[in-house]
Amino acid sequence: MKVFMVCAHPEPQSFNAAMARQTIETFEAAGHEVKVSDLYEMNWNPVASSEDFSAPKNEDYLVYALEQRNGFKSESLAPDIQAEIEKLQWCDLLVLNFPLFWFSMPAIMKGWIDRVFVSGLCYGGLRIYDKAGMKGKKALVNLTLGGQTHMFDGDDSIHGNLEDMLKPLLRGSLGYVGFDVLPPFIGWHIPYISQEDREKVMQEHKEYLLNLDRLEPLHFVDTSKFDDHFHKLEN
């Protein structure tokens, strides 16, 4: 299996970074090939702009998704985007490794998705969900946060349901472009637990990675149940 991991944590000594290193080591020890993009180490530019296109189709007015499509087709995307796209096309499994910031992913990770999930390759027109460009590939989120499970275990909990917070990523990004999205691995309450408990989380994470084939991907939508204008067909 070919694994492409994208990491986004500002501290290389963090637990989250250690979890990323364990991901690499575990997959490589199992005989898989791994490529890594550490966004902070790369000083990744998260800002989508006209500078992403060296030969824009419309120099007077930027429609970003349309320029992505043109740039991908004409091979005129910015070099940093093109390098990430090549890893994305290469991989069988995409792993996103990050801490939860403000009920979401870090801005640098969001900017990576904005610039790399290009129209024309990943999605476009009717090519969404099970018809999208990343169909046949899997995606996994490795996530750490400071909260405890009871804070996110349902609509009546203090923060609501964690799955709802992750929906823009799991469904609106990964699922939308066609990935089979695996249930995320969650490292709970990490800044506040003991070293012994951290070691337990690391062991749970390793076992999780070694048993990915047993996981059932999340279900989002069957596009065959919708017409070409995305109106739901009658049963």
* Longest CA pairwise span in the chain (Å): 58
Gyration radius of the chain's alpha carbons: 19
Say how far apart CA 120 and CA 125 lie, in whole Å.
9
The pLDDT tens digits along the chain (235 residues) read 999 999 999 999 999 999 999 999 999 999 999 999 999 999 999 999 999 999 999 999 999 999 999 999 999 999 999 999 999 999 999 999 999 999 999 999 999 999 999 999 999 999 999 999 999 999 999 999 999 999 998 888 999 999 899 999 999 999 999 999 999 999 999 999 999 999 999 999 999 999 999 999 999 999 999 999 999 998 6
For residue 144, the Cα-to-chain-centroid distance in whole angstroms is 14
Nearest CA to 110 out of 178, 160, 48 is that of 48
Show Cβ contacts of residue 174 under 8 Å, excluding neighbours closer than 6 positions.
94, 96, 139, 141, 181
64 burial type by CB count under 10 A (0-12 exposed, 13-18 middle, 19+ buried):
middle
Q: Name the residue type at position 20.
A: A
Structural domains of the chain in order of their starting residue, each with its CATH number:
2-225 (3.40.50.360)
Q: Is the pTM of this model over 0.75?
A: yes
Own/partner contacts of 57-64, CB < 8 Å, gap of 24 or more, are none
